[in-house]
Amino acid sequence: KPDIVGSPPAGYQIEKIKVSPDYVKVSGPVSELRDIESLFTEPISLAEMEILNGKTVVEVPLVLS
């Protein structure tokens, strides 16, 4: 799940957020994984995004701890 922070620049609004890939495979000890329902990205600041032709693509790492 994306961790969205802030608001988009003035004059813009969020129409759609798409995460790709739709899922990830994690492995590790069952004791560490059993309660995981979802993973989040590092925070994504909307205020700092550069918009090109009405779209923005951002690559961010997942938070694994």
Q: By percentage, how much of the chain surpasses pLDDT 70? A: 97
At 29 the pLDDT is: 93
Among the listed residues 45, 60, 58, the one whose alpha carbon sits nearest the alpha carbon of residue 9: 45
Range of the domain at 16: 1-65
At 5 the pLDDT is: 93
At 60 the pLDDT is: 85
Q: What angle do CA 45, 58, 5 make, to 5 degrees?
A: 15
Structural domains in the chain (count)? 1
| Mean pLDDT, all residues of the chain | 85
Q: pLDDT digit string (tens) for 1-32?
A: 899 999 888 888 888 888 888 888 889 999 98
Whole-model pTM: value is 0.67
